Copies of this chain bind each other. A is one copy, B any other.
């Protein structure tokens, strides 16, 4: 999957991943109205809004981007209906040829991680196989060490799938543990070394492993250091845009071929219509709200290209 992701980044000339993380306040009024009328004020109504909202954004951007990253929490909040919307979103993105990065940040002991591996491995029921979650990549939490990683590595060794392990997250308090000195270096470096090791037997044709790392755009200096420390590890970079990261900060996250990372933007793209000069009436915007997402993707692509 890392090779396919890189191929798609080269094709589109764009290392942007669109974070499909909808919230109720982002949904345009026309769509809210339609679904509340159809399904009442219920989780089902919200789920249908999310599916349609995402579908319009995917339709407006799929030819410009290599991947999408739905954040499962936004859907999980709305229970089974929400998760149904998550799966339908993943499925629709795949049908448009996009790589789907499920931002699920799971992490547990071995026997439990084996169950979570079902996200990318599906499940077998007496010889019948089911691919229920429709994800190509997932994000993983490293706090439990290799036991919690091994079940995913087992999948990566046999299938075209991938994981991104949290190394240096983008949030303000991420340093509380990750920046502390652990033995002779920062904790995130210790995690980086583990992640490099975990990935070393799944390196593909472009020199990158199926085991990637999450490295926040909000830490540009650490990003450069980690790029050098983990030359075979592809980065998923959250924190661009709404969280404060800018294209100019990100140069060092890339390798000398302009590869090596994929930059996520969520709110900045999916809620772009709220701040778009060409959307005249935000309150009464129709499905054309998604055109603002297309413009935001193009602007982000240019911002990233200018960084070089």
Report A's interface with B, CB cutoff 8 A. 21, 23-24, 36, 41-43, 45-46, 71, 73-74, 76-80, 83-84, 87, 105-110, 112-113, 115-116, 118-119, 123, 125-128, 130, 132-133, 141-148, 166, 169-178, 180-183, 187, 190-191, 194, 238
> Given the interface contacts A83-B80, A112-B71, A125-B45, does A142 sit within 8 Å of B143 by beta carbon?
yes
Give min CB distance, A44 to chain B, whole Å: 10
Say yes or no: A118 contacts B45, CB within 8 Å.
no
Known contacts A109-B171, A177-B191, then 12 further A-B pairs from the complex at CB < 8 Å, ordered by chain A residue: A36-B126, A41-B126, A41-B127, A41-B128, A42-B125, A73-B113, A76-B118, A107-B141, A144-B169, A145-B176, A147-B171, A147-B173
> Given the interface contacts A181-B182, A182-B187, does A130 sit within 8 Å of B43 by beta carbon?
yes
Bound form: Cα–Cα A172–B194 in Å: 16
- CB-nearest residue of chain B to A83: B80
Among A71, A115, A170, the most chain B Cβ lie within 10 Å of the Cβ of A115
> Given the interface contacts A105-B106, A171-B147, does A77 sit within 8 Å of B123 by beta carbon?
yes
Say yes or no: B183 contacts A183, CB within 8 Å.
no
Q: What are 28 A-B contacts defined by CB distance under 8 Å?
A: A41-B128, A42-B128, A73-B108, A73-B116, A74-B115, A76-B118, A76-B119, A77-B123, A78-B118, A78-B132, A79-B87, A79-B123, A79-B130, A80-B80, A80-B84, A83-B83, A105-B107, A105-B141, A109-B170, A141-B143, A143-B166, A143-B169, A144-B166, A144-B171, A144-B173, A145-B173, A146-B176, A182-B187
Give min CB distance, A104 to chain B, whole Å: 9
Say yes or no: B178 contacts A181, CB within 8 Å.
no
Bound form: Cα–Cα A123–B41 in Å: 11
Give min CB distance, A86 to chain B, whole Å: 10
Say yes or no: A115 contacts B73, CB within 8 Å.
yes
> Given the interface contacts A105-B107, A146-B176, A176-B146, does A125 sit within 8 Å of B77 by beta carbon?
no
Give min CB distance, A42 to chain B, whole Å: 7
Q: Which residues of B contact A74 (CB under 8 A)?
A: 112, 115
Among A21, A43, A143, A181, the most chain B Cβ lie within 10 Å of the Cβ of A143
Q: Which residues of B contact A127 (CB under 8 A)?
A: 41
